[in-house]
Structure formats: structure tokens, C-alpha cells
Structure 1
């Protein structure tokens, strides 16, 4: 099941995308009719309403069906309740391209992006040229937490996952270097395009066997697999929750494969007009164009 957030007649709504039928099931309207306060995907996740949506899908009521042509996709989670968790250098080849064999981490490297960094699929990403001259892309699989918890074990970790989406962890490399930390360089407005859908965990047999491809215009830059994660999803959830509570709706970007702009010699940073397409099998493709000026 592919969950989406979208605009319809100027209103923010959420629902299920039936891609082959080119139809959207409007869950916002359904919960409104029921008198339930479930107006966003985060509400649905936090209130554990997936079962109700399955029931709605079985009913196939025409009242809640919209044509995909009449809606505009937006980020599945418009405003995260807190910072987006990110994992640095979680693919061996990427760690090496950013330094050397010595840069391969022995424990997960965690940083965050501000909630205000989220951008929509297909949105034009605007970056002032006087802020950064070294904008880089990072295609990543992101986890959406469904059931919160603290001290989550590896064995139970996947039970805490609601679903998966795509994140582009756009990074200002020059700001990273200047400030000696990640937060500013990772948190520029529109530096976290997300979507186009959240694929429910039940639709993925194994999240550690997904291909990730990033194209800049027509050039393949990244071509990796989540099979190569240094720290897999159970390990990440176990480490993060050891002394900190994870909550429903939290977003965790799991890291990026090799092929980022900085890894080339000379570097291939993003240019004005570049089109970025990140594809993860089963989830779809996240597309954006960059405007620098």
C-alpha cells in the first residue's frame, strides 16, 4: 500500500495511491465522515489507523475515489514533529570516497536535518548562490517509525517500522567544512525532498534488498543496494533507541551509496537547472530540479 499526501482543490489531504488505476483513495474525507481527528499521515501513523484504511480499501466506495490527474503530490510528511535522523557513511564505498578506508565507521554516525528542510516531490528547489557553491545530492532509503519505543531490540526492530520512503539529503559541502559540523550544511530550506510515497512495510519482503539509483539529468551517479548497508535497519533502531525514545512518525534516513558529487575528481556539485531523480525499487522515483541564483 502506497500512502501519499496531496493537494486537492487547494486543501492538504492524504490517502492511498492506486498507481495502476491512476486513482487516489481520499482517506482524509473518510476519517472526516467518521468524525475522527485524523487529518494527516502523521495522525494516521500515531493513531495506528492502517487497519481502518485496509477496511476502506476492501469497501471500494466510489465516494472516496479521486482521479490522480486532479491531485498534486506533496511530501508524505509535510512537517516532521522533530528533526529528521540521518546516518552518515553507512555504505563502505561512500565512506571511502569521502576519505579513505580509515573513514569507515565502527558505530553509526548520526546527525539530523531540521524539519523546515523538507521539500515536495517535483518541487523546484531554490538555493541562493551566496549561501553555498558546493551543493551535493544523496539518494537514501528512509524509515518511517510506526510504533515508538525505547530499548528496541534487533529482533523486534522491524515491528516498529510503519513504512519506507525516499529522501534526498541535499548537502552544502562548503558549509559542512566551514562550520566543522553537519547541521547547518544539512538543514538549508528545501534540502530534504521526500516522497513520492510511503510504502507500507507489508509491501516489502526485505528492505535490505532494494536497489537505489540516482540520476543527475540523464547520467547515473549512484547505483547501490541497501544490501550493502554497514549498519542495517535493526541495528540503527536498536542503537538510536538505546537511551532515547523513538516516536511514531519519526523519520530515519539510512545513508547514501557511493557516487555523490564530492566523490568525483574533480567534484560534480549540483548546477543551476540540474534535474535529480532518485529511484528505489518498489517505492518509485523522487524528482526535483535545482535553481541556484
Structure 2
């Protein structure tokens, strides 16, 4: 299953991507049973199993073109990242001369994450 978080008509939700449509999580559960976040859902295997069984029968999905994609999961804290962590990746980036001698670790604030098709803004130095 491909998961996404999205905003539509001012409401944030998450769901399963099926081709060019999204099945909103709310289609699978009564309001009182519906997980509030993708992280909450992932931590409940019985709810994931329920979705797995029901997803093929679902109708009324939202067209992807109608939503603003959000980061799939927004972590509560900074994201720890490792840069240029393997030789092939460094070569793909075209920076063979910059292969680090030591591991490069950096953090990324959770408010810097963007969703699919999102605009990434950066400052010129």
C-alpha cells in the first residue's frame, strides 16, 4: 500500500494512493474508531489488517489533483540524517571528489518537510 497525508477543503487527513486517486482513511472506520495520524494507524496492526481486507471494495476516492500533498509522516522532533552515506550515492550526485572520510550527520527540522509536489524554498547564500 502507498500511503499519503493530504489537505482538501481545509481538512487534513491521510489515506491510500490507488493510481490517480486517494482513499481517505475515514472511509474505513466509524468516526470514533478512526486513527488521527498515520503514525497512530501504523502502531495498530489490527486496523491495518482491516484496511487490507476492505481496500479493494472502497469507492468514492478523491482525485489526487484535488488535494495538497503533505509530508506522509510529520515527526514530533528533528529528523536525524546521514549525508553521502555510501559511495554510489556520492557518485550519483556527481561529487566524487567530495567523498567524506568520516560520516556526515545533520538534523532537519520537521517544519522543513514538504509533501509530494510541494515547493521547497531555500535562501541564496
TM-score band by shorter chain is 0.7 to 0.9
Tell me how far 1:39 sits from its aligned partner. Answer: 1.8
Tell me how far 1:67 sits from its aligned partner. Answer: 2.7
Native 8 Å contact 1:28 1:39 kept in 2? no
The residue that corresponds to 1:97 in the other structure is 97
Distance 1:80 1:118 in 2: 10
Normalised to the residue count of structure 2, the TM-score between the two structures is 0.75
Among candidates 111, 117, 121, match of residue 122 of structure 1? 117
Q: Deviations over 1:132-166 (max 9, x none)?
A: x2xxxxxxxxxxxxxxxxxxxxxxxxxxxxxxxxx
CA RMSD of aligned residues (A): 2.5
Native 8 Å contact 1:28 1:40 kept in 2? no
The residue that corresponds to 2:40 in the other structure is 43
Bigger strand fraction = 1
Q: Deviations over 1:195-226 (max 9, x none)?
A: xxxxxxxxxxxxxxxxxxxxxxxxxxxxxxxx
Normalised to the residue count of structure 1, the TM-score between the two structures is 0.36
Distance 1:37 1:116 in 2: 25
Distance 2:22 2:78 in 1: 29
Aligned-partner SS, 1:124: coil
For these two proteins, the number of residue pairs brought into alignment is 119
Q: Deviations over 1:167-213 (max 9, x none)?
A: xxxxxxxxxxxxxxxxxxxxxxxxxxxxxxxxxxxxxxxxxxxxxxx
Native 8 Å contact 1:26 1:66 kept in 2? yes
Tell me how far 1:96 sits from its aligned partner. Answer: 4.2
Structure 2 spans left out of the alignment, 5+ residues: none
Distance 1:128 1:92 in 2: 28
The residue that corresponds to 1:26 in the other structure is 24
Structure 1 spans left out of the alignment, 5+ residues: 134-293
Distance 1:35 1:46 in 2: 17
Tell me how far 1:97 sits from its aligned partner. Answer: 2.8
